[in-house]
Amino acid sequence: MDTRRFRALVVEESADGIFTKTVKERAISDLPAGEVLVRVAYSSLNYKDALSATGNRAVTGAYPHTPGIDAAGIVAESAVADVRPGDSVVVTSYDLGMNTPGGFGQYIRVPASWVVPLPAGLTLKESMILGTAGFTAGLSVHKLSTAVAPDRGAILVTGATGGVGSVAVGILARLGYAVVAVSGKADAEPYLKKLGAREVIGRDQVTDRYDRPLLKARWAGAIDTVGGEILATAIKSTEPMGLVTCCGNVASAELNLTVYPFILRGITLAGIDSQNCPMHLRQKVWARLAGDWKIASLEEIHQEIALAELAGRIDAILQGRLKGRTLVDLNR
Ligand SMILES: NC(=O)c1ccc[n+]([C@@H]2O[C@H](COP(=O)([O-])OP(=O)(O)OC[C@H]3O[C@@H](n4cnc5c(N)ncnc54)[C@H](OP(=O)(O)O)[C@@H]3O)[C@@H](O)[C@H]2O)c1
């Protein structure tokens, strides 16, 4: 039995159904079986981690549990030839942090098929400033750019100061798209303009409460991260043959629409699922995030915290109060 100890955030459920989050010592032997043991250098906080850390059974079925859907670090042990001890790797998605102990611990053990070599052009730290949110922004831009060129008109990005939104604004601006960023934060404009947004508007300007089937066309496409009325409004106000991506539900999981945007304007609604993204596309998107999509503002969009500071940030992300990305340094 491997009794080496490490620190991890452990979420526990009390007999009266209260969920607590405490940094505790764990042993390597507590980790599940797997081919690759990774010494985690950095993780990051995603919305899904906050759901896991607060007892959301759709994300995590059993507690005690260590969340963290993102991890980047150095391979400590490997049972397969193409992943070697000492390799720098990124592990995101699949079951990491959901029902498999995740990146909010100093070690993870995972199947080799979940492991992505750290792409050339990114440090471990930069890969986790991006993390699942940045990867999802990359997948969304990948989808959007197949249908809508920068000269077609403005692109709407919703939940723009969030993790996915911030990275999407940065990549789109870098590619020459005119970005209209939607934010509910009163102080969002300087932040989003620095990331490259052309215009910043409030949520009320993209919330149609009259259930009209179609609205005046205003955008060539949209990257939506919030769902609900804002996503429905984005679809109803996209120009003919435009494309709207959908990845999240922080506002609502409901989508109240008629078929008219699709049959009268040829709009495409593209679902984004980072968790089950096939490995060839996963590596392609990571390579672009490290290369021609690498945003200059990675330093500006993140705050770095220690494991012990996670609990407070988990509450803040659930309340939609965070801006950008929260990087977790596992060595602090
Ligand atoms: N499908 C996938 O593979 C995938 C992958 C990653 C994330 N996601 C999902 O994508 C969503 C965004 O993730 P994230 O990491 O960017 O989360 P995040 O950092 O918490 O950002 C979400 C942003 O949405 C806006 N927002 C919050 N509450 C809102 C509300 N009630 N109505 C309208 N806007 C609201 C806020 O931005 P403003 O204040 O600027 O408006 C907030 O910062 C989440 O639902 C997450 O679970 C899905």
> Residue range 91-109: average pLDDT?
97
Q: Give the total number of structural domains in the chain.
A: 2
Looking at residue 107, its pLDDT comes to 98
Looking at residue 139, its pLDDT comes to 98
In ligand 1, the atom with minimum distance to the C-alpha of 320 is 27
Looking at residue 66, its pLDDT comes to 98
Residue 137 and residue 267 in one domain: yes
Residue 206 and residue 107 in one domain: no
Q: What is the CATH number of the domain that holds 140?
A: 3.40.50.720
> What domain range includes position 158?
133-271
Model confidence at 283, pLDDT cuts 50, 70, 90, reads very high
Residue 194 and residue 96 in one domain: no
Residue 288 lies in a domain: no
Residue 92 and residue 160 in one domain: no
Q: What distance in angstroms lies between residue 110's CA and the mean position of ligand 1's atoms?
A: 27
67: Cβ below 6 Å to ligand 1? no
Comparing 97-101, 216-220, 260-264, 320-324, the range with the smallest average pLDDT is 320-324
> Which amino acid is it at 325?
R
Q: What is the CATH number of the domain that holds 11?
A: 3.90.180.10
Inform me whether the pLDDT recorded for 1 exceeds 80.
no
Looking at residue 209, its pLDDT comes to 83
Residue 139 and residue 99 in one domain: no
**Reduced 3-state DSSP string for 191-231:** HHHHHCCCEEEEHHHHCCCCCCCCCCCCEEEEEECCEHHHH
CB 274 within 8 A of CB 105: no
Percentage of the chain beyond pLDDT 70 is: 100
Q: What distance in angstroms lies between residue 203's CA and the mean position of ligand 1's atoms?
A: 13
Inform me whether the pLDDT recorded for 2 exceeds 80.
no
In ligand 1, the atom with minimum distance to the C-alpha of 48 is 47
Looking at residue 211, its pLDDT comes to 86
> Residue range 215-221: average pLDDT?
98
CA angle 54, 71, 163 (to 5 degrees): 65
